[in-house]
Chains A and B, each alone.
Chain A
Amino acid sequence: MSLDLTHTALQIDHMSENIKNHRQTHINKIAKALDKIDSFDFKHHESRIENSLGMFNWNIPKISSGSFDKFNSSDFPKDYYVIATDGSHIDVDRHIPANCYLINIGSCILKYGNNSFATLNSIPKLYAEYDDLIITDRENKNKSVLVRGAILSAKRMLEELKSLTNLVKEINSGIPILALMDGSLIMLDLIGQTHPEFVKRELVQNGFAECLDELYEISRQKKLLLASYISLPKSSEVVNSLRVSNCSFSEIHCDLNCSKIAPGDRSCDEVSNEIIDREVFSKYLNTGERSGTFQIDIDLVNDYYLDNKIHYFYLNTGEEIARVEIPKWVVEREDLLRLTHTLILNQCKLGHGYPVSLIEAHEQAVVTSSDRNHFAQMVEAALDEHGMSTYTSEKNLSKRLRWV
């Protein structure tokens, strides 16, 4: 039986009513957050964080004195490259008769200006060797984990960055190159889950961070900009940082002071609870403007990204508030930061709201459900051709052969 839409419709109605009732409270919170930003005292914030001795429970970025400044884009160069990569994967599936996964990396190179051109490409890679299917602790070979689910997503992200690095290396030109990734520069799949330390060391420190190091080295010879673009971000780190100055206790100690106060009733909730950064920045930034930069301050980056600190800014593209993440070396050079802002804004314009290079890289990378079915059939056919019996689960068979 399909979904009972009549029953669901009533629940959707109820949900809409709830959202409507809370709307004014929500708008008021955003207005208060904006007031807080306008009167933000950087030194006060810094001293309160220092005095909290790490007892502030919220995940907040490192804020600098210019974080809440606003910046306009500048003129963009006539000649430049934009390179983007994106990936899709087919996860290990116990219902098909081979233990394997596939990562498809799509790429897009756009050259603007004189002799403009585009190169669109996709490279699928099947991983089926024993070493591909597990990650082993280099220091203790008895410890290993299977590559699938979140770990496979992280590995795919690493492959996207490797591909981006290789494409950047292939360009021998002195003109600016914007290397763009979809989503975050943080390997979010490895946050908040109990992945062993050696997995993070292998994928992040020995993989992602090494690639970032390589890109940094390239940036010393070429005018390279590295960024990742998050559309419709749902993060609330900046808003959470406003909690610091709104805390009514003389010393910040979340567990001690507020563990018995219901969420919504704490003094800091007045400016922060249930609102997210983009809601605030949509009122704060005018079209085309970006915020100052904020530095991500989380354990994964601090422990495994080596020297590659990641920063971000919010950008009003005219269509949405986007979050753009950039490495430290882009933030440290005003010209690179300004150019990143300008080129990404132009990419959004060309892509009718979303960076055109990422659209095309995604189109190259995407693996449709039909592709997935073909892949499974090809695996079965290939095994069959080699005289090996194929099998599938009874559950999968029952889905294929639907009977009454």
Chain B
Amino acid sequence: MNQDNRIGEVVESSSLQFTVQCYDLYKSPNIGTLVKCGTDPQLFGIVYDVSNKSMDPARRPVPRGRDENKEEGVYLSNPQLNRLLITEVNCILVGYKSTEGILQSPVSLPPRIHSFVIECSEEELREFSSTLDFLPLLLESPILNSIDDVISSFLIKSSKSHDDKSRFLIYAGKELAFNLSGQLIRLNNLLKRISK
């Protein structure tokens, strides 16, 4: 297991998504990043939301920097903040690894709590994005409205992992067109984003 890319552990999960508490404050993958967790089977998720907040919902952070010149000063003068504030990442489940290889389909069981969550390597991202069968899962996701931002971020990141970036994006564009045949404006917006 590549511990360098380990970002945190699952603290909440369902068969649709899971929440990761990062080991370090502000050290999280970006939206659209492919992550993996669990071992049997290994599950894949895409980051769709990142939040920084108080670990205890009842204790709201208060301003502390009135006398500080720099923002870092707030953390230096209050070292406990690194223990009381957390970064959380929400991921949508998009597939799993079986004996037959990577399957991009809904998972039957959510990841276990405390599963280690690891950011996928470029190689794993290339392998995962060689097909985009999971796109309908995302496009029809009931989880959030801004899913199109997540999809475009994922596709742009994936394109960089492929030797022929343009060819991948053309393939992705065709998949989007197929899945959004009745939603031209949405399709148009998505295509514009991934072609930038």
| A residues whose Cβ falls under 8 Å from a Cβ of B | 108, 110-113, 116-120, 350, 352, 356, 360, 363
How distant is the Cα of A117 from the Cα of B81 in the complex, in angstroms?
9
B184 in contact (CB, < 8 A): no
Which of A113, A117, A356, A363 is close to B82, meaning CB atoms less than 8 Å apart? A117
Against A, the Cβ 8 Å flags (1 = close, 0 = not) of B55-81 are 010010010100000000001111111
Which of B56, B64, B82 is close to A118, meaning CB atoms less than 8 Å apart? B82
How distant is the Cα of A363 from the Cα of B76 in the complex, in angstroms?
21
- A350 adjacent to B82 (CB under 8 Å): no
- A111 adjacent to B80 (CB under 8 Å): no
- A350 adjacent to B77 (CB under 8 Å): yes
B64 CB contacts on chain A under 8 angstroms: 350
How distant is the Cα of A117 from the Cα of B80 in the complex, in angstroms?
7
Closest Cβ of chain A to B27, distance in Å, is 16
B83 in contact (CB, < 8 A): yes
- A120 adjacent to B80 (CB under 8 Å): yes
Q: Which residue of B lies closest to A115 (CB)?
A: B79
Closest Cβ of chain B to A326, distance in Å, is 24
A356 CB contacts on chain B under 8 angstroms: 78, 80
Known pairs A352-B62, A363-B56; A120 contacts B78 (CB<8 A): no
Which of B75, B77, B83 is close to A120, meaning CB atoms less than 8 Å apart? B83
Q: Which residue of A lies closest to B56 (CB)?
A: A363
How distant is the Cα of A112 from the Cα of B74 in the complex, in angstroms?
12
- B79 adjacent to A112 (CB under 8 Å): yes
B80 CB contacts on chain A under 8 angstroms: 108, 110, 118, 120, 356, 360
Which of A112, A118, A350 is close to B83, meaning CB atoms less than 8 Å apart? A118
Closest Cβ of chain A to B136, distance in Å, is 43
Chain B interface extent, by class:
10 to 19
How distant is the Cα of A352 from the Cα of B76 in the complex, in angstroms?
16
Q: Which residue of A lies closest to B64 (CB)?
A: A350
- A118 adjacent to B79 (CB under 8 Å): yes
16 A–B contacts, CB within 8 A, in A order: A110-B79, A110-B80, A111-B79, A112-B79, A116-B76, A117-B79, A117-B82, A118-B79, A118-B80, A120-B83, A350-B78, A352-B62, A356-B78, A360-B84, A363-B56, A363-B59
Q: Which residue of B lies closest to A352 (CB)?
A: B62
Against A, the Cβ 8 Å flags (1 = close, 0 = not) of B70-102 are 000001111111111000000000000000000
How distant is the Cα of A363 from the Cα of B82 in the complex, in angstroms?
15
A350-B78, A363-B59 are known contacts; what are 15 more A-B pairs with Cβ within 8 Å?
A108-B80, A110-B80, A112-B76, A112-B77, A113-B76, A116-B75, A117-B79, A117-B82, A118-B79, A118-B80, A118-B83, A120-B80, A120-B84, A356-B78, A360-B84
How distant is the Cα of A110 from the Cα of B77 in the complex, in angstroms?
10
A120 CB contacts on chain B under 8 angstroms: 80, 83-84
Which of B59, B79, B84 is close to A116, meaning CB atoms less than 8 Å apart? B79
Closest Cβ of chain A to B113, distance in Å, is 18
A119 CB contacts on chain B under 8 angstroms: 83
Closest Cβ of chain A to B149, distance in Å, is 35
How distant is the Cα of A336 from the Cα of B62 in the complex, in angstroms?
32
Instruction: List B35-67 residues whose CB lies under 8 Å from chain A.
Output: 56, 59, 62, 64
A108 CB contacts on chain B under 8 angstroms: 80
Q: Which residue of B lies closest to A357 (CB)?
A: B80
B81 CB contacts on chain A under 8 angstroms: 118
Closest Cβ of chain A to B59, distance in Å, is 8
Which among B59, B76, B77, B84 has the highest number of chain A CB atoms within 10 Å? Answer: B77
Interface pairs A-B: 3 shortest CB-CB: A118-B80, A116-B79, A118-B79
How distant is the Cα of A108 from the Cα of B83 in the complex, in angstroms?
11
Q: Which residue of A lies closest to B67 (CB)?
A: A349
How distant is the Cα of A111 from the Cα of B75 in the complex, in angstroms?
12
How distant is the Cα of A360 from the Cα of B79 in the complex, in angstroms?
11
Closest Cβ of chain B to A280, distance in Å, is 30
How distant is the Cα of A119 from the Cα of B84 in the complex, in angstroms?
10
B84 CB contacts on chain A under 8 angstroms: 120, 360
Closest Cβ of chain A to B168, distance in Å, is 44
B79 CB contacts on chain A under 8 angstroms: 110-112, 116-118
How distant is the Cα of A117 from the Cα of B79 in the complex, in angstroms?
5
Closest Cβ of chain A to B80, distance in Å, is 4
Q: Which residue of B lies closest to A121 (CB)?
A: B83
Closest Cβ of chain B to A35, distance in Å, is 37
Closest Cβ of chain A to B21, distance in Å, is 15
How distant is the Cα of A119 from the Cα of B83 in the complex, in angstroms?
8
B75 CB contacts on chain A under 8 angstroms: 116
Q: Which residue of A lies closest to B81 (CB)?
A: A118
How distant is the Cα of A57 from the Cα of B56 in the complex, in angstroms?
49
Closest Cβ of chain A to B118, distance in Å, is 26
A110 CB contacts on chain B under 8 angstroms: 79-80
